[in-house]
Structure 1
């Protein structure tokens, strides 16, 4: 039996929910520490009247929540992969 170290601060659930509910504002990006990407998403939302930003946020929120805790932590918090 292998013991897996749980990340001390996995932001998967909060980032996923914020991406689905408030993705148009890029809040999930700011939660993960991606300030530049959050601002870009906010600007895209303003330019497209919220359409593109909300779709991107919804997709990213779903992607975040379908990853395992370990995958999410490794890809988005340690690896700092900013998009999808």
Structure 2
């Protein structure tokens, strides 16, 4: 006799302290030029670099590309890379 257990994904199924892909994408879109999304993801060095070069608007362009990447990445891949 085989017993199968089906579980529903819970809103609280993530690990404590895990990073949310949608939050990172929103931060990258609205304040990515200042590197806020990098600080959120724990990449402090990149966040400081974005702050230092924000006056060039290059970090804003890169952040917009990262915004698209975050939206296109699956939750599992995002958690594996940034989790």
TM range (shorter): 0.7 to 0.9
| 1:46-75 alpha-carbon deviations (Å, 9 max, x no partner) | 3x1xx2011011111110111000000112
Gaps of 5+ in 2: 1-6
The answer to whether the Cα contact below 8 Å between 1:23 and 1:57 also exists between their aligned partners in 2 is yes
What residue in structure 2 maps to residue 63 of structure 1? Answer: 69
Q: 1:10 aligns with which of 8, 12, 19?
A: 19
Q: 2:38 aligns with which of 21, 29, 50?
A: 29
Q: Matched residue pairs, number?
A: 73
TM-score by length of 2: 0.75
Larger gyration radius, structure 1 or structure 2: 2
Q: CA RMSD in A?
A: 2.2
TM-score by length of 1: 0.74
Gaps of 5+ in 1: 78-84
